[in-house]
Structure 1
Amino acid sequence: MKYLLVLAVVMVAVYVWRQNRRADIEAQRPEPPRQPPKAPQTPSLMVTCLHCGTHLPPAEAAKGHLGWYCGDEHRRLHGDRAA
């Protein structure tokens, strides 16, 4: 019984020693450099296809006399001609 008590005391001592050592190692570890917060992005202009309602940038849209379309096929189906 005496040996079990000594073993338990040694195990507790090793546990406490390892926890303190782990805390020391964490304290010595350098913090990673903090990155500055990103600036919010400005929203880009989007147009809506008059035929199907799809939103897309004007550079990818087809312009008609009545408005914007997602492609030449929808401009033709809507009865519009090219601008």
Structure 2
Amino acid sequence: MKYLLLILLLALLVFLLGVKRARPPRRAKPPAAPRGPQPMLSCARCGLHLPRDEALPGRGGVFCSAAHRAAYEAEHGGAP
């Protein structure tokens, strides 16, 4: 009889721990609102289209990476 009571208590403990872990966090952050559409710009070196927020400005326009900006400015005499 003692063993049956012990097994029941252990089963109850395991069940309660499992239920507690399965719950979502109490203060879950609301999902971020999707941003609106952005204008797409074209890289002056390779022509890749990318959102305005990701474009790097340079002397010859906008670029998709710092390497493309440096290469374009070196080719067109824009580097000091």
- TM-score higher than 0.5: no
Higher-strand-fraction structure: 2
| Structure with larger Rg | 1
Q: TM-score, normalised by structure 2?
A: 0.41
